[in-house]
Structure 1
Amino acid sequence: MCWKVGLRISEAIEFDLSLEHQQSEYKNLYLLRGKRQKERWVFVGPEIVKELKKRNWQPHQTNRVSFFDFLQQIKKEMGLSANIELSPHTLRRCFATYQAISGMPLPVLQKVLGHSKISTTALYIKDSDLGNLVKFRPV
């Protein structure tokens, strides 16, 4: 959820499948309560929804510690070195970087990520040297 949807760890833990938008033209949009209980809609792809339903996902069925432990287990299984950071926030930044490289405008990305300031979103891009990636990407 952090990588595919760009959720914060707290949002991923609290994610509720029952909060899907009821109008068919907005299928796969889910209501989240982010930082400071601010509401926003996020798109959750059908493959993720299917996987969550298969696992009988319920809000709060995991916690931060088990989430971090799970990521460390994946890191070990992938044979990644100990000095490579793999955290929910790293995955969220990867999501943001991928979306920006794919052409998502910064103001849209800001809303998707739930940032109140566009400068916060811009930091995600600056930190990844995204400017050069976008500038030189193949057309």
Structure 2
Amino acid sequence: MRFLFLVTLKRRDLARVLVIMRHPRKLPDVLSVEEAARLLEAAPGIKYKAALGVAYGAGLRVSEVAHLKVDDIDSTRMLIRVEQGKGRKDRNAMLSPQLLELLRLWWREGRRRGVMLPHGWLFPGRSCTDPISSRQLHRAVQEAAEVAGIRKRVSPHTLRHSFATHLLEQDVDIRVIQVLLGHSKLETTALYTKVSTRAIHAVAGPLDRLMALMEDKSPPG
């Protein structure tokens, strides 16, 4: 808008009255490990279970999950190749043995159905030549959450948030999590320290310290 008024329209008087509105940043909803397990178990079919498994097990964005190809799964190096993620950046995501096994189950089923093309999409849409849509993945997550009895507001991005938070609670270095998520700034990743229950529980409250001090000073009975 500033460029429009200053450069294109030559209206500095209008540019001066522009005000930057900052939206308050809310903490993301995060699933517990048990809720994540229930959600994946309730996924509508092996394809969606594998796709949601990638979102949670590797921390990928929904668009990154949708645009994975079969060749992006590197079982030798145990990596998932993410091409042209957010910011048009390539990166490697983690591939756990459990996630690899889940993807192999889907690959075998996809081959049996005739929807898995050589060098094609890992998660084909309604047509084998098109990737699954983000809308389909959103719908699958909401359906699974309803079946699993999860009342939180859940989306595919919730699985990415849960991935980062659960790694943080396992004492994984925050800079490693930053790389896995593909964040360019550490402060973006640091948001998860605010939702990590383990990080919160690890802090000794001032009241606890005060009560302990008072007990130490109490006269012997």
Max radius of gyration: which structure?
2
Runs of at least 5 residues in structure 2 that lack an aligned partner in the other structure: 1-53, 111-115, 125-131, 205-221
1:1-139 superposed matches below 5 A: 1-21=54-74, 24=76, 26=77, 28-33=78-83, 34-45=85-96, 46-56=100-110, 58-59=121-122, 61=124, 62-81=132-151, 84-129=152-197, 131-133=199-201
CA distance in 1, matches of 2:70, 2:106: 8
TM-score w.r.t. the length of structure 2 is 0.53
**May I ask how many residue pairs the two structures share in their alignment?**
131
Q: Is the 8 A contact 1:101 1:133 kept in 2?
A: no
Q: Is the 8 A contact 1:106 1:121 kept in 2?
A: yes
Greater shift in the superposed pair: 91-100 or 118-127: 118-127
Q: Is the 8 A contact 1:17 1:30 kept in 2?
A: no
Query: Judging changes above 3 Å, is the alpha-carbon distance between structure 1 residues 90 and 133 closer, same or farther for their aligned structure 2 residues?
Result: farther
CA distance in 2, matches of 1:20, 1:74: 25
Runs of at least 5 residues in structure 1 that lack an aligned partner in the other structure: none
Greater shift in the superposed pair: 52-61 or 84-93: 52-61
Structure 1 stretches of 4+ with a deviation exceeding 6 A read none
TM-score w.r.t. the length of structure 1 is 0.81
CA distance in 2, matches of 1:134, 1:107: 20
Letter in structure 2 aligned against 1:97 = T
